[in-house]
């Protein structure tokens, strides 16, 4: 049970760090559009739904994007720094995802033992 809770803790911590780091990078130029706001892309360069909102909304949106990073989804980077970081994070999160599933398989196999 402790190892399963530790896996969940690692997952949440990793997504928190990735989401916070991604927000730190995208707030520099404010050109990035969150995937849930792609429909508002005509309001270039700033999207009022993201940059004018509360800190809680920004954190939840960043955490959501960290989940998208974990799944390897499109992030919509717009600047060179965002492209480099997005590529690095996608590769890193793919490796983390594989390690997480490996740990889950080991725990599942261990729970089946008598």
Per-residue pLDDT of the chain (114 residues; tens, 9 = 90+): 788 888 889 999 999 999 888 888 877 777 777 777 776 666 666 555 566 678 888 888 888 888 888 888 877 777 788 889 888 988 999 899 899 888 888 888 887 775
> 């993201």: which residue's tokens?
50
From first CA to last CA, the distance across the chain in angstroms is 16
43 lies in some domain: yes
Joined tokens for residue 13 = 């911590």
Element counts in the chain: helices (H) and strands (E): 4, 0
pLDDT at 103: 87
Q: What are phi and psi of 50, to 5 degrees?
A: -105, -45
pLDDT at 81: 83
Number of compact structural domains in the chain: 1
The whole domain housing 25 covers 10-106
65 lies in some domain: yes
pLDDT at 12: 92
pLDDT at 9: 92
1 lies in some domain: no
């Amino acid at each position: 049970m402790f190892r399963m809770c530790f896996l969940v803790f690692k997952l949440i911590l990793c997504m928190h760090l990735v989401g916070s780091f991604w927000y730190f990078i995208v707030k520099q130029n404010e050109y990035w559009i969150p995937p849930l706001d792609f429909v508002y892309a005509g309001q270039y360069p700033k999207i009022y739904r993201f940059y004018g909102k509360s800190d809680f909304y920004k954190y939840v949106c960043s955490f959501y994007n960290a989940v998208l990073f974990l799944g390897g989804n499109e992030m919509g980077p717009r600047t060179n720094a965002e492209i480099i970081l997005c590529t690095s994070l996608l590769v890193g999160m793919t490796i983390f995802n594989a390690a997480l599933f490996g740990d889950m398989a080991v725990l599942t196999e261990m729970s089946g033992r008598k």
